[in-house]
Structure formats: C-alpha cells, structure tokens
Chain A
Amino acid sequence: MNAFWIILTGSLVATCCSLLGCYLILRRMAMVGDAISHAVLPGIVIAFLLTGSRDSVPMLIGAGLLGVLTTFLIEFFHRYARVQADASIGVTFTWLFAIGIILISVYAGQVDLDQDCVLYGEIAYVPLDLWITEGGLNLGPRTVWTLAVVTMLIILYIVLGYKELFLTTFDPAYAAAIGISTSVWYYSLMTAVSITTVASFESVGAILVVAFLVAPAATAYLLTDNFKTMLLLSVVAGILASIAGYYLAVWIDGSIAGAIATVTGIEFMLAFLFSPTRGILVRKKQLQPVQH
C-alpha cells in the first residue's frame, strides 16, 4: 500500500509539473522555473512558522506569492537595475534559497523541515501522515489530497486558458496586437508554477520539481509536433518516471526523488537518441540515402 501512495504522490507532482513545464520550455523559461522552485523556500518556512502546519491553504498562498515575487524580482533587477538577464536569475534564487536554509537552521526546533529534505524531499514518509476524520475514517495521506486539488486546479487552468496560453507562448506580439494580454497570462502561469512548486516541495524537494518541470516536457518535445500530444506525452513520461523511479530507489536503497529524477533523465536520453522523428541515431539512418 505504501508503494501505491508514494507512486501516486509522484504521479500527481509529475502531472502538474510536466504540464506547466511544456509552457516553460517553449517560452525559454526553464531556468526561471528552476529559480522559482528554489526561491519559494523562505516562503514555505515563514508560512510554516506562522501557521504551524504544512498542508494549509495559507501556506500554499503565502509561499506561492513568494514564487511570483521571485519573477517580479528577476524582472526588476533586469529591467530597472539593468542586471544581465541570466545573472538576475542566478542572484535572485540563490539569495532567497540561502535565506530559506538559514531560517530553517535558526528555527530548527520549530520547523519540521531539514536541509536535506529541502533538496530531495521526504516522499517516503508521505504514507505516514494520514488524514483521519473525526469518525475515524482513514482517507489516506494528506499530501495526496493537497496535490490532487492542486493538480485539478492546474488542469482546469490549462483547459480554460488553453488558447490564450498557446497563443501567448507561440507569438506574444500577435497576441498583444489582437488584444490578448501577455502579462496576465505570463504572471498567471508563474503563479501556477509557484503553487505547484510549493505543493510538491516537501514531498519531492526542489530538485525533483525542476526535473519534473523540464525533463518530461523536453522528452515529449522531441517526440511530437502536436502541442496537445506534447502535453499528454509529458504527463505519461512523468508518471512512468515516478513508477520506475520508485522501484529503482527500492532496488538500490537510495532516495526516491533522486531515482525519479534519474529516470526522467534516462527517458530524455532515449527520446534524444531514438525519437522516430528527431532521434539523432534515427535521423542519421534517414539521411544516409540522401547522401548518395
């Protein structure tokens, strides 16, 4: 049963991250996703200190706000202080992440988070924190419920905003010309990434969030030319990685989050080499007759 809950948790995180990741990589914002996933840490710690719990709505909102603030800060440093774009990302997220780690050390007694957990999460403990109603009914792990709600929200967001997100990602200038606000969709997307990151953080840690944001989407991007298929394939790749990663971790007795990230990398490598349309090994074969 534990395996089921862990894999389910991983799959839920994979689903929201992969979906949003498709937009991030097409907007060339993969590193912004990386930055947000690190920078929400102080928000999580502060929200935790204030509310004393992990799976609370204030926590999601508070830390989510910090994620959006991160994008504002990156923008601000870049536009008003004219810091080079990549440096602006690098300075912002390392700074906020460092604050988060320091807060954790200072309030070590009050915050139920430790440094290692921040990096690679505690997905193995997910099944331990059960939601049991007053009547004694066992509803399963709390984290799964939180993540399920967040996943539903993300799917709803993408379904409702599908055409606007599609257009502002592909051709922002045209979108603006016909009256679709690019900044509304940009910041709502960043909000979605932040909320997802916060919800996923404690179970899978910062690094797996990045891996899930980027690797399944990149894998899907090499396999298809249809955007809807890309969304779908990225989710499939993410879920498969959760399953395979779990068993890999059990097999070599290591971190589950680390193992899942490893599998997403293997998936990408396979697509990179063998994608029917874009794999570098496959492409070579197709090109050979042309050379003669």
Chain B
Amino acid sequence: MIIQVENPVVEVHDLTVSYDRKPVLWGIDLTLPAGSLVGVIGPNGAGKSTLIKAMMDLLPAGSGYVRIFDKPIAEVRNRISYVPQRESVDWDFPASVFDVVLMGSYGKLGLFKRPRQADKDAAMDALQKVGMQSFANRQISQLSGGQQQRVFLARALAQNADIYFMDEPFAGVDIATETAIIELLRTMREQGKTVIVVHHDLQSATEYFDWVVLLNMRLVASGPADQVLTQQLLEQTYGGKLTVLTKVGELLRKQEFPARES
C-alpha cells in the first residue's frame, strides 16, 4: 500500500541512506501531499529520524534524491524548518527561552545581520502560540521536558516556514503539552503548512495524522491514515525482522562495499 500523489510537497526517489556503509534505509520511493499532517511511524531502529534527516539533506544519500516543492533542497532551505529531538542539545546551555526562539530568525537574516524588532515580535508571538510567553526570560536549564519541547516548537514557528520536520515532538512530554502541540499542528495544517512528524505511539496515530508513512528499514506503506493503519500493514512493519536485509547490510559494511557501483 504505497500511494503516490500528484504535485507532492516532498518527493523522495529511490533513496538509500547508509551509516558507515551499512544501509539503514533501502530504496525509499515516497511522495507526500501538501497541507497535511504526516506521521512517520515504525519500530525503534527503523530509520524514522534518518528518513527526515535525509529529506532535509542533513545526511548524505547513498543513492536517489529528494525534492521539496519540486526543487533541490539547497534552493528551498528558507522554507524548511526542523524540530530536532529534545535530547539532541545540551539544555544546560547558557541561553534564555527567548534566545532560543529568536534563533528561528537566523536563517532568513543572513550573515552579520542582527535580529530586528520585527523578528523579536515574531519570536514573542510564537511563544504565545505555545503558551510560553511568560517564560520568555527563563533560563532553558530550568524548563521541564514538555516546556523544552514547546520552546523548540516556538522556534520553528517563529521561522514561519512552509514545511516542518519534527523528530519525536511527543516523546516524554506531559498530556497538557501533547494536546497543546497537536492543536497547534492542526492550526498549522489549516494554514496550508505541511508537517512531517516522527512518532512512535500507534494509539494516537489514527487520531493525529491525515497521512501515515510506515517504515522499517524500507517503506512498508504510505497513504491516508485510515487506509494505512491496518492490522496487516502494521504486522508487516513491526513483526518479523528482515534478517536477510540486515545481514546484507552488515556484509556491505564489513567488506567496505560502495552503496552504488561506480
């Protein structure tokens, strides 16, 4: 069940991504519809984060290509935003909540320019949207997990991008934050933005997403949530490891084979 769409926002063509020559994603062919809430779902080690990182060209692709808005990524960087995993940064960093949210403006500002009042207003506005305006001057080291996640979200909002990649935004957050975030994502979708979310909770997936991508080292399914989240497809995703695939990957690494011939 892999449904391809017309005029996709994201087009992934025959994408293979390797770590240390061992492929973690094999031959992904994927198109995603504009203005939708997309969930990327699969077991641990399925390559979910790898997929969105490769989509943003943060990891080199062994083969294939990705196009966003029908352009190479380098041309549309200023329309992309990213919410990394919360654990990927050091929250002991000496910065305030407002400092972090203001980073959202850095990409558009360019070299040597400082944030202007308009950027600061946008940052405050974003903080308000995630319900953290009263925390603007708080040090990030003093935040709870849920608050940290909201700050990251606010930073992405302040960027006012057209497509958002979010890596596990619901991991380790409280219920109130989870509800607030999903409300926010829905508002963003109504404004025509595309949001791609790495998610690990199957229970909430049907409720949260319009489009679901099931992943386990390869693309198992991609399509409207209600059609994709079926017993059979989930079993394919979560059950039965593809031993042959894993073994071949190991061989490629050990023998230091190139991912593609030439």
Contacts and interface: CB of A to CB of B under 8 A. Distances in A.
Direct A/B contact, Cβ within 8 angstroms: yes
B240 interface: no
A227 B84 contact: no
B106 interface: yes
Contact of A177 (B56, B74, B93): B56
B139 A167 contact: no
A171 interface: yes
Given A167-B103, A171-B89, A224-B94, A178 B139 contact: no
Interface string B78-99: 1011101000111001111001
B94 A227 contact: yes
B109 interface: yes
A178 B99 contact: no
Contact of B84 (A174, A226, A229): A174
B93 A178 contact: no
A178 B159 contact: yes
A73 B78 CA distance: 34
A154 B93 CA distance: 22
Given A170-B93, A221-B94, A225-B141, A179 B103 contact: no
A177 B141 contact: no
A274 to B, nearest CB: 19
Nearest to B113: A163
Contacts of B111: 160-161, 164
A173 interface: yes
Given A167-B103, A225-B141, A227-B99, A26 B93 contact: yes
A169 to B, nearest CB: 8
A163 B93 contact: no
Given A177-B58, A178-B159, A171 B94 contact: no
B164 to A, nearest CB: 10
B78 A176 contact: no
Interface string A211-225: 000000000010011
Interface in A146-180: 160-164, 166-167, 169-171, 173-180
Contact of A178 (B90, B94, B96, B107): B107
B165 interface: yes
Contacts of A162: 114
A230 interface: yes
B77 interface: yes
A227 to B, nearest CB: 5
A163 B114 contact: yes
A164 B88 contact: no
Given A179-B78, A226-B96, A171 B103 contact: yes
B106 A225 contact: no
A160 B112 CA distance: 5
7 closest Cβ pairs, A-B complex:
A178-B107, A179-B77, A177-B82, A225-B139, A227-B94, A173-B84, A171-B89
Interface of B: 53, 56, 58, 74, 77-78, 80-82, 84, 88-90, 93-96, 99-100, 103, 106-107, 109, 111-112, 114-115, 139, 141, 155, 159, 165
6 contacts: A163-B109, A164-B106, A178-B107, A179-B77, A224-B94, A225-B139
